[in-house]
Every structure is written in C-alpha cells, then in structure tokens.
Copies of this chain bind each other. A is one copy, B any other.
Amino acid sequence: MQAMMNNPFYSQEMQGPFQSYPLGDWILEEGGTLRGATLAYATHGKLNKARDNAILIPSWFSGTSKVFEQAYIAKGRALDPSRYFIICVNQLGNGLSSSPHNTPGNGGRGNFPRIRIGDDVRAQHKLITEHFGISYLALVVGGSMGAQQTYEWAVRYPAMVRRAAPIAGTAQNTPHDFLYTESLIDAIKSDPGFKNGWYDSHTEVREGLARHALLWAVMGLSTAFYKQEFWRQLGFSSVDDFRTNLLEAVFTAMDPNNLLCQAWKWQHGDVARHTGGDLKKALGRITAKTFVMPIDEDMFFPPRDCRHEQKMIKSSEFRVLNSICGHLVVTGLDPDFLQQVDQHLKELLAIPV
C-alpha cells in the first residue's frame, strides 16, 4: 500500500487548530469515492440559542482556514466571533481536508479522484446540518474558489442561505479563467519530477511549483502593483525578493497533487450544472440577499464578468472592491481592501432577512 505523504505545511502546527469531521465514504459527482473522507474546519465564536448566527466561509485555491482567520476574523470587524459562530471550512484537496497527499493507499496521490465544487458543498452541508444542527446560515462568504462554493451553496440550498457574499469569483467559470488555470496545471505537470503525480516528495517538483508561482506573480497582482512598488509595503526590497520570498516560498511548500486537484475543480466550477446549462435559471434560484464583490484590478475575474452574473440574481447588489493588489488581495495584502470588505459585509449583515 502506498503511504501518505509527509508535508509539514499542512500540519496542525502550521495550520491549526482545526478539527476533522468524518464524512465516511464520500461518493463524488465525477464517479470516484473518497474512502474515509474528512472535512477539516475551524470555528470561532459560539452558536447562539436561536442557532441563527452561523457564518460559513469556504476556502480559496491553496488557502486554508488559518489564512482566512488571520486576515478577516476579529472582534469589532464584520466577521466578529463575539457576535457570530464562524465556521471556516477547508475545501477537499486543500491539504487539511481529504487530499491527494494525505489519502493513504492507491486512491491517493496521483490517483486521487476528481472533485467538484458540488462535492465540497454537499460535504459542508452535512457538517452544518448533521454535526452542528444548523438549519440556515446567516451568511456564506468566500473569495475566489470560496466564491464558487458560495454560489453553489446559494443555488443548491437556497432556503439555507440567508445572505451570500461571493468575493472575486464567479458562479460559472469563464473560458479565459479556464485557460489561466490550465497554464497553472501545465506549469506543475510539465516538471519531469512530477512523474504523473507519483513523486516521493513535493520538493522533487520544486521547479514546476516555482513556475506555477511565477504565473501567479504575473496574473495574481496587477500592472499597477508592480509599477507603484506596492511590494515595499509588504516588507520586500525588490520584485525578486517579493517573488522569491512570498509567492515562491508559499507555493513550493505545498503539495503539487493538492494544487492540481483544486485547479481542476476551479476550472469546472459551474452552477448551471443544476439546470441543464441554463445559468440564468440557476442563478434565479438564489433567494439569499447577495452582494457580488469583484476586485477592480482582478486580471482573471474582472468586474464585468461578475456583473454579468449579478444581474441574474434577484436580491443582489454589485459592490466593486478597489485594490491595485489585484486578485491576491483576498489573502489580506492591503489593509484598505480589508476595510472595504468589512464595510460591505457589515451592511449586508445588517439587512434583515
């Protein structure tokens, strides 16, 4: 039997504390089965007696419950653990929940099955309803792939989602975004050390992971980010220092198969799967009060693509966020951006539903 991989990046020491909820054998939309699957999550605050103060936050590509917590959750902010019961959930494949690198046996690593956004949202639904006994969520909010999961929640379980805030993401992935993700996948798979996913350590795929990080440097920020040398504000002394010691450092610590699992899922995100390909009909199901929040400088989820979807959502508003940090600002690079998000989320949470 193939052993699972050891990768300290995904440990409790680095990413904890988090809990693991057992899903049992999780049958996937694409036909595979995750045997003995687990969903990792971290909570902040307490569920009140009315059980109506729960907020769910799914993770973005390569992100974890920890990185979201550090950027967004604090007393006095919109996501305030003294008021809300906040559940940060890790998407399948992200390294904390069931993932290629931590799945033992022949079904892990290079054989890990394909996962859909819907597989995540069904698993999260099970956690929310069966484990926590929650019947509806005050808010689902997430950035990037977290936005994809937010849309999936609002379309799949409309009665359970009172408010939704998809940030920098789409309900139906765009063809351009598909190509960008393809280039990320290609960067990793083309490394001879990748060996169809059967490398012995993620360090053998270092070059592919570094190439993948470079593509994030090109598409994940913005032309203005570099022109204005915003990286100085982040404590870096040059573009190379920023590339090497932030983007490359983070991505080369991760597991290649984990990233590829999430990338495929991202590429194929599409709520119109519920309605035979009819996006308008799918988004028409949403009853949540929804703030669609793109980032003005996002190079692959530009505001116009999000606007296109927002118009199909009945009770929605279009709230553009501004930051020259582009897409990756969701990770918390720009304090001003975080204030904007907080302001919008406070408004959204104040709307009676």
> What residues make up the interface of A, taking CB atoms closer than 8 Å to B?
174-180, 182-183, 186-187, 190-192, 207, 211, 214-215, 217-219, 221-227, 229, 239, 243, 299-300, 302, 304-305, 308
Complex alpha-carbon distance, A300 and B223, angstroms: 7
Complex alpha-carbon distance, A186 and B190, angstroms: 12
Q: Is the CB of B223 within 8 A of A174?
A: yes
Nearest-neighbour CB distance to chain B for A235, whole angstroms, equals 17
8 tightest CB-CB pairs across the interface, nearest first? Answer: A175-B226, A176-B223, A176-B226, A180-B218, A179-B218, A183-B214, A179-B217, A183-B218
Complex alpha-carbon distance, A176 and B214, angstroms: 11
Q: Is the CB of A224 within 8 A of B304?
A: yes
Across the interface, name the chain B residue whose C-beta is closest to A180: B218
Q: Is the CB of B227 within 8 A of A211?
A: no
Q: Is the CB of B227 within 8 A of A175?
A: yes
Complex alpha-carbon distance, A178 and B305, angstroms: 27
* A299: chain B residues within 8 A (beta carbon): 299
Complex alpha-carbon distance, A104 and B170, angstroms: 53
Complex alpha-carbon distance, A344 and B140, angstroms: 50
Q: Is the CB of B239 within 8 A of A211?
A: no
* A243: chain B residues within 8 A (beta carbon): 179
Complex alpha-carbon distance, A222 and B179, angstroms: 11
Contact partner, A176, options B187, B211, B225, B305, Cβ 8 Å: B225
* A190: chain B residues within 8 A (beta carbon): 190-191, 207, 211
The contact sample of 23 A-B pairs, CB cut-off 8 A, is A175-B226, A175-B227, A176-B218, A176-B221, A176-B225, A176-B227, A177-B223, A178-B239, A179-B218, A179-B239, A182-B214, A183-B214, A183-B215, A183-B218, A186-B211, A187-B211, A190-B191, A190-B207, A192-B192, A218-B219, A219-B219, A223-B302, A224-B304
* A308: chain B residues within 8 A (beta carbon): 227
Complex alpha-carbon distance, A187 and B226, angstroms: 22
Nearest-neighbour CB distance to chain B for A271, whole angstroms, equals 17
* A187: chain B residues within 8 A (beta carbon): 211
* A218: chain B residues within 8 A (beta carbon): 176, 179-180, 183, 219
Nearest-neighbour CB distance to chain B for A182, whole angstroms, equals 7
Across the interface, name the chain B residue whose C-beta is closest to A301: B223
* A221: chain B residues within 8 A (beta carbon): 176
Complex alpha-carbon distance, A93 and B244, angstroms: 30
Across the interface, name the chain B residue whose C-beta is closest to A211: B186
* A226: chain B residues within 8 A (beta carbon): 174-176, 179
